[in-house]
Amino acid sequence: MSRYLPLVLLLLSTIAHAATSLRVGNKVLTIGDSAVRVQALMGLPAMRTFLTQETGGMPNNQMARGEQWQYAREGSTVVITIVGGRVANIETLYH
């Protein structure tokens, strides 16, 4: 069983990939950029999902509200999580 673990982990890593930056043309979108910059680089999202996300150090009764914006891009879906008007996470889902 343990000899198959690296293969399983490799397969799972190709399904979704989280990053701290994303190249958009000749520009780069990074964690911490504003939601306005996301729209300037990527345009309007194909889908917006509203969520409540815990952020580090906040008590359970004080949750940060956020959104996940989805963009179709070159055979993949880019999911950008916006919390407090800033990019909190960038994830690429491969089809």
- Report the 10 Å Cβ neighbour count for 62: 9
pTM of the full predicted structure? 0.72
pLDDT digits (tens, 9 = 90+) for 57-79: 655 555 567 999 999 988 899 99
Q: Is the dihedral of CA 30, 31, 36, 39 positive or negative?
A: positive
> Domain residues of the chain, as ranges?
16-94
Selected residue with higher pLDDT from 88 and 14: 88
- What pLDDT shows up at residue 51? 84
Q: Quick one: which H or E segment has residue 41?
A: helix 35-42
16-94: in CATH 3.30.1450: yes
Contacts of 9 (CB under 8 A, 6+ apart): none
pLDDT at 53 over 60: no
